[in-house]
Amino acid sequence: MNKTSILVTKTHQRLGDYLACCLLLSRYPKITTIHRMVNYDSDHILVGWPGPSNIGDEAMRFTMPGIVPSHLPGTPLGLVLHHLDLYKLATAAWPWLYTLELKETRGLHELADHLNCSLDTVNRLFMPLDAVLLHEFSQYDLLTERHALFQQMIYIGDTLIRQLAAALMVDQWTERHHKILDESGVKFLWVSTTPPEPIEQSVNRLVMQQYRDVAVSVIPDLKGSGWTLFGFKYHHAVDFRKVGNEHEVVFCSREGLLLKTKERGPKDEENIRRLIRMSRIKPR
């Protein structure tokens, strides 16, 4: 990549465009300027301009397509992530990415429909920091390396990429250390090794991507000394309230989908199987 400047549309102010620029600055140190203009010049890296989706476009045009296929990234931020080969990981690791793309491509009304809430509630979801960042960004028609905001954007891009790298490392660890078991027709994912850091989100990503038939996850409780059992609600397969009074149980959620045990020991698999078997909701 030999282009040294980014050209951002001045017509719109979108958080996705700002974050796309942050990622590009982090990935390509050769970029030394960001221009915000009404008209564009193809000699620059383009971010946020109307145009067709350009996945894999070596011309570095991260445009805002009018009609977005559901299976493709729909914003300049999504296109930059795809260009960096990070889009699939980002959609799994960042729950906010889908809602941001939906908001910026379809509008607030469709986002409210997706979240099944009022438009007023949607407006309350956005952080004041987002507005501050966009306002500060909008004050410049030209940003260069000597500006503090330029350096701040590099830092934000670095942070986003570090988040994804960390998520990938945890996902790879979870992939290596899990096994799929079955108890009385209830499939469960069990991570029997103590992880180096929390893996709840990693396990959820693994189940959603590879094991949609898994109804329960079982992982070490890093805040305690036992196990955490979590039932996936959409399966309606277990109700842990049935075993809430068992001697090894220290916590059971009101909904019956989360259970914590006192300790881990040599009979763990036997005890876990018993708890799942006793919690099983029998089909009608």
The tens place of each residue's pLDDT in the chain, 284 residues long, gives 678 899 888 877 889 999 999 999 999 999 999 998 877 666 778 887 766 655 545 567 787 665 555 555 678 898 899 889 999 899 989 988 988 888 888 788 888 887 888 888 887 777 778 888 888 988 899 999 999 999 999 999 999 999 999 999 999 999 999 999 999 999 999 999 999 889 999 999 999 989 999 999 999 998 889 999 999 998 999 999 999 999 999 999 999 999 999 999 889 999 999 999 999 997 75
pTM of the model: 0.80
Instruction: Examine residue 36 and state whether it is found in any structural domain, yes or no.
Output: yes
Instruction: Examine residue 211 and state whether it is found in any structural domain, yes or no.
Output: yes
- Coil, helix or strand at residue 36: strand
For 116, residues 6+ apart whose C-beta sits below 8 A from its C-beta are: none
Indicate whether 43 and 128 sit together in one domain: yes
Residue 218 contacts residue 227 (beta carbons within 8 Å): yes
Instruction: Examine residue 236 and state whether it is found in any structural domain, yes or no.
Output: yes
Instruction: Examine residue 266 and state whether it is found in any structural domain, yes or no.
Output: yes
What residue numbers bound the domain in which 10 lies? 5-144
Indicate whether 205 and 122 sit together in one domain: no
- CA–CA gap between residue 250 and residue 193 (Å, rounded): 21
Indicate whether 205 and 124 sit together in one domain: no
Indicate whether 46 and 137 sit together in one domain: yes
Of 98, 126, 144, the residue that ends a domain is: 144
- CA–CA gap between residue 117 and residue 45 (Å, rounded): 37
- Coil, helix or strand at residue 240: helix
Instruction: Examine residue 100 and state whether it is found in any structural domain, yes or no.
Output: yes
Q: CATH code at 215?
A: 3.10.310.40
- Exposure b/e, 233-261, CB count within 10 A at least 16 = b: eeeebbbbeebeebebbeebeeebbebbb
Structure tokens at 280: 């099983």
Of 89, 120, 144, the residue that ends a domain is: 144
Residue 227 contacts residue 261 (beta carbons within 8 Å): yes
DSSP secondary structure, 264-275, as one string: --TTHHHHHHHH
Q: Total domain count for the chain? A: 2
Of 88, 117, 144, the residue that ends a domain is: 144
Indicate whether 118 and 68 sit together in one domain: yes
- CA–CA gap between residue 265 and residue 277 (Å, rounded): 19
